[in-house]
Amino acid sequence: MNNGYFITGTDTDVGKTWATVTLMHYFRQQGRTVAAMKPVASGCVWQDGQWQNADALLLQHHASSPLPYPLINPYAYEEPVSPHLAGVANPAQMETIISRFQTLQSHADRVLVEGAGGWYAPINAEHDISDLAFVLGLPVILVVAIRLGCINHAKLSHQAITLSGLPCAGWLAVCNDATMRQREANIATLAAALPSPLLGVLPYQATADFVGLAGLITPGLR
């Protein structure tokens, strides 16, 4: 039985990390221990003797217990481009990611895995994010950035997840565009169109209040 979720998004920069950290706090408020990983990350800086990614550091910071960085982000690439391009010299290996994930499972009640980019973003020359989610066998949570074009992107992404054979546990609306017009109407349209449940609406915040955002997740997610 799995004890986690795979977090994917409709695109890059849609709020996957904020959504993941929010879910971490949601599970912590339920009394569960939690960890998260970002197996592949591009756009890293050299510090503490290794390449590190800001999103992965945020996941590390909000875990229930201290965890070594390489466990959370096995493949950290300097160049801010697609991982299959950034990682030519050191391509992501599924076996390594699976091993790190299984180690995290022994440290926490819930393990969240944040993808890179969208569902079909390539992580190496042979595999996409969708392949990674499939081998981990986790239910998927889709993060939808509520911005112009989100309805089409969300429908296509949800359809792709369904075709993969993995269950979609639900979707999160992330309001990361402060000037978005008809925001509530767009969310209502998506709620009617997507067969998976809306797990919560995360409002626009200049600085995230993850504890407060966690209170907006629909009760019942286990």
Task: Write out the binding residues for ATP.
Answer: 55, 114-117, 174-175, 205
| Residue 16 designated active-site | no
Compute and round to an integer the Cα radius of gyration of the chain.
16
Query: What are 8's strand-pairing partners?
Result: 142
Strands (E), the chain: 4-9, 34-37, 40-42, 45-47, 50-52, 75-77, 110-118, 140-145, 168-174, 198-202
Task: Write out the binding residues.
Answer: 17, 42, 55, 114-117, 174-175, 205
Within 16-168, where are the H helices?
A: 16-29, 54-61, 69-72, 83-86, 94-105, 129-136, 150-164
| Nearest-angstrom CA–CA distance, 61 and 52 | 13
Task: Provide the token pair at 184.
Answer: 């509530």
Among the listed residues 16, 28, 38, 100, the single catalytic one is: 38
Amino acid at 52: Q
CA dihedral 191, 195, 198, 204 (to 10 degrees): -50
Task: Write out the binding residues for substrate.
Answer: 42
Q: Could you give the residue numbers annotated as active site?
A: 38
